[in-house]
A and B are shown apart, each in its own frame.
Chain A
Amino acid sequence: MALLQLSEPGQSTAPHQHRLAVGIDLGTTNSLVATVRSGEAATLPDSQGHHSVPSVVRYSKDRICVGHAAAEHSITDPKNTIVSVKRFMGRGVDDLQVLGKKLPYDFVATDSAVPRIHTAHGDVSATEVSSEILKYMKARAVSALGDELMGAVITVPAYFDDAQRQATKDAARLADINVLRLLNEPTAAAVAYGLDSGQEGVIAIYDLGGGTFDISILRLNKGVFEVLATGGDSALGGDDFDHKIAEWILQQAGVDAATTELDASTVRLLMQQARAAKEALSSVEQVEINVSNTSLNWQGSLSRAQMNDLLDALIKQTILACRRTLRDADVVIENIQQVVMVGGSTRVLRVREKVAEFFACEPLVSIDPDKVVAVGAALQADVLAGNKPGEEMLLLDIIPLSLGLETMGGLVEKIIHRNTPIPVAKAQDFTTYKDGQTAMAIHVVQGERDLVTDCRSLARFDLCGFPPHVAGAARIRVTFQIDADGLLMVSAREQNSGVEASVDVRPSYGLSDNEIETMLRDSMAHAEDDMQTRSLREQQVEGERVLAALDAALTADGKTLLSADERATIDVARAELINMNSKDDADAIKAAIKQVEASCEAFVARRMNSSIKQAMRGHSIDEYATHHEE
């Protein structure tokens, strides 16, 4: 165990202080926040005892409200009450049209590809709507725990692409939440079930939420969760079940959905009744439905068998995805030891039946499928915050969809293939096709298809100003780096000239850094002074943290890993930071921190390498000594 502790500098700063960290399940239909208290992870309720918060935001002229209070208005005020916003995250205007004509919102075309919804409070993007939900979750946690949050783990569907992940992280930034990690929902569920303890083997996580479906295959071994493959459909969920039932109701009522234009509040009423019927049919065989308002009037009954017929085609799609993902993981059904059910839509009995039939085993449903993701995220947040020294739990995720570049003829050259473990970096060389070419347009796409038009466009940028060559002689190296959250950074450089041209990534469907800055500033404009005070305080805390970490590192390894000169340089930078930290200039503290970090560059690298060496040495000794436990 000593080996691991050496490699965790995060713990050395304040070993006895418990840091408040939460897990947030930012769901399509409902959101939850959970935390670990006295070793137990649990979701946090409001004063009325509700754990789930409807992921609904209502924009009125002078206020924004979230959750139950907003949901009450979804029928009476559909245009200003945004539901299921997760389905719009990272999506462009074209995608929204595919999502269905039945959306009651007024979309506004903007200069960027990000669609905005027109409300009484102004035009809002999906990211902003999500950030309102996150702010609400954060406020709940802060009031329940009575202290500031150190950070949060926010969950996303495993099948979310880069644009959707980026939009989620942007929403967290807008809500002023420090994201410890974007965690895949299925992985969070596996953590919640504690399937790593004492178990080795392969498991499947079937996650059917309100708007997304994920299937993940994981291998467990001594605390390590290794995701082998993931698949699914980021636009298939319980909402689609509701749509099917709603369509059936319309059909029964003799309304031709193709030609009849229904008003927004009738659509909402219909969807609500459809959903209520679906939920009721998990416990009864038959349900009475009554839809009546000024434009629609129908009463009738729906049996479970009838509903099953309506849903079977959708459920089949999920089973097909399971089959493909098993193949990707190179695993056969017989190897699967457990199937974990996640997401409210797995309450539908037909879903459980079909999953049990396909995997030939009874799925695990003992943890509330609505809460399981938030609970798992809280457990991971607790570990990441450094509250569990010596914890062996490690989650190794993969990238769900291939990433590539557009090449001549609108074809995709894949750079990183799906199901590759992350973080990962890969570089590929490209060349020019015209004599004298001095610039190159780089178009980053994500998806499995061969044509650019069939993939998702993530970003475009230009590499400009390299010296002219004959066609084919320039050597442009494009590097993709994916971090542990699954987020992509792309850089490009012309190799022959050695000149590094600057690149500017314009996210196709995300918000640019400038937009986020502006939003943050706008939201705090009236609190300018507060903000300055806060920013100073934040820098001071950061300064203290850096100093504590540095001192711990120097005590441990200063003598062995540093020359006298290097030590002197570090000491100068350290003294400057101590000095600045006692004054009230946030920028100067920031600069002093940078200086300390620069002076420690080599030291940090050496320390990390030495801890790795320790790990490697420790492990190989263990290897030769007949595999006893460490």
Chain B
Amino acid sequence: MNDDLLTRNFFDLFHMPVRYEMDIDQLQQEYRSLAQAVHPDKYASAGDQERRISMQQTSWINKAYQTLKNPVERAAYLLQMKNIDINLENETTMDAAFLMQQMELRELLEDVRTQADPLATLDTELKNVKAGMQELASGFSEAYQADRLEDAREALRKMQFMQKAHKEIDTLTAKIEDELF
């Protein structure tokens, strides 16, 4: 029924080129102008039917926006568009050096309270993780552009690890800040 909007891929929806590199400012602008057109508040005094459709369409746009905004979800979505299985969590084969690095980071986080300045340590690690993520993301972008999809998939998997690490550092920082503050 709503083929036009609800079957459009997320990139087309926002008039963005199908690629990993993303102009976030422009994405935001496109999101806002689409939301202006379909949001349920624009149909507050319309009939139930229009309101229901408006809710479905806005839900779809929100989902698309959330997906494209997030560097990891955007990468996963690009691979999904190429019908690549992105359910990577149960795979065991992986770059040994990368895994080692991740384990070291986990150990460091576990003992961070014993450090002289735990917050400073966490801050440094967060910067490392962000830098690592940047690097992986450009690796993904390059591989995807060159249609080396296996490599792209590997990069995505590492990015997922990095995202988890990022979250853990955030949570830990918040906890320690609460204790110290």
Binding site for B on A (CB under 8 A): 3-4, 7-10, 13, 19, 150-151, 180-181, 221-222, 224, 226, 316, 319-320, 323-324, 327, 383-386, 392, 394-396, 420-426, 481-484, 546, 549, 597, 600-602, 604-605, 608-609, 611-616, 619-620, 623
Contact of A612 among B34, B43, B65, B177 (CB under 8 A): B34
| CB of A423 to closest CB in B, whole Å | 5
What does the 1/0 interface line of B44-60 toward A look like (CB < 8 Å)? 11111110011111111
The 8 A-B residue pairs whose C-beta atoms are closest, nearest first, are: A615-B37, A384-B44, A10-B45, A609-B4, A425-B59, A484-B40, A421-B62, A619-B33
Contacts of B28 in A (CB 8 A): 221
Tell me if B54 and A424 are in contact (CB < 8 A): no
Contact of A224 among B36, B46, B177 (CB under 8 A): B36
B26 at the interface (CB under 8 A from A): yes
| CB of A594 to closest CB in B, whole Å | 10
Contacts of A392 in B (CB 8 A): 36
| CB of B125 to closest CB in A, whole Å | 15
Contacts of B54 in A (CB 8 A): 608
Tell me if A424 and B63 are in contact (CB < 8 A): yes
| CB of B122 to closest CB in A, whole Å | 12
Tell me if B58 and A619 are in contact (CB < 8 A): no
Q: Given A604-B50, A605-B1, list of 7 further CB < 8 A pairs?
A: A3-B37, A4-B36, A222-B32, A327-B174, A394-B42, A424-B59, A615-B37
B178 at the interface (CB under 8 A from A): yes
14 contacts between A and B (CB under 8 A): A151-B44, A221-B28, A323-B181, A384-B44, A384-B45, A385-B44, A421-B66, A425-B56, A484-B39, A484-B55, A600-B49, A605-B1, A608-B50, A615-B37
Contact of A181 among B2, B26, B44 (CB under 8 A): B44
Contacts of B43 in A (CB 8 A): 8-10
Contacts of B50 in A (CB 8 A): 9, 604, 608
What separation, in Å, do the CA atoms of A190 and B178 have in the docked complex?
Answer: 28
Q: Are A605 and B2 CB-contacts (below 8 A) given A324-B174, A421-B66, A600-B49?
A: yes
| CB of A206 to closest CB in B, whole Å | 17
What separation, in Å, do the CA atoms of A514 and B50 have in the docked complex?
Answer: 27
Interface centre among B44, B66, B181 (most CB of A within 10 A): B44
Contacts of B65 in A (CB 8 A): 421
B41 at the interface (CB under 8 A from A): yes
What separation, in Å, do the CA atoms of A385 and B65 have in the docked complex?
Answer: 28
Tell me if B37 and A4 are in contact (CB < 8 A): yes
- Chain B facing A: main interface SS: helix
What separation, in Å, do the CA atoms of A615 and B4 have in the docked complex?
Answer: 13
What separation, in Å, do the CA atoms of A13 and B173 have in the docked complex?
Answer: 54
Contacts of B30 in A (CB 8 A): 619
Contacts of A19 in B (CB 8 A): 45
Binding site for A on B (CB under 8 A): 1-2, 4-5, 15, 26, 28-30, 32-50, 53-60, 62-63, 65-66, 170, 173-174, 177-178, 181
| CB of A572 to closest CB in B, whole Å | 18
Contacts of B39 in A (CB 8 A): 394, 396, 484
CB closest chain-A residue, reference B181: A320
What separation, in Å, do the CA atoms of A19 and B44 have in the docked complex?
Answer: 13
CB closest chain-A residue, reference B37: A615
Contacts of B59 in A (CB 8 A): 423-425, 481-482
Tell me if B45 and A385 are in contact (CB < 8 A): yes
Tell me if B15 and A616 are in contact (CB < 8 A): yes
CB closest chain-B residue, reference A619: B33
Tell me if B62 and A423 are in contact (CB < 8 A): yes
Contacts of B5 in A (CB 8 A): 609, 612
Contact of B42 among A7, A319, A605 (CB under 8 A): A7
What separation, in Å, do the CA atoms of A613 and B47 have in the docked complex?
Answer: 21
What separation, in Å, do the CA atoms of A9 and B50 have in the docked complex?
Answer: 9
Tell me if A615 and B32 are in contact (CB < 8 A): no
| CB of A320 to closest CB in B, whole Å | 5
What separation, in Å, do the CA atoms of A386 and B42 have in the docked complex?
Answer: 9
What separation, in Å, do the CA atoms of A611 and B53 have in the docked complex?
Answer: 13
Q: Are A604 and B45 CB-contacts (below 8 A) given A324-B174, A394-B36, A616-B34?
A: no
What separation, in Å, do the CA atoms of A52 and B151 have in the docked complex?
Answer: 64
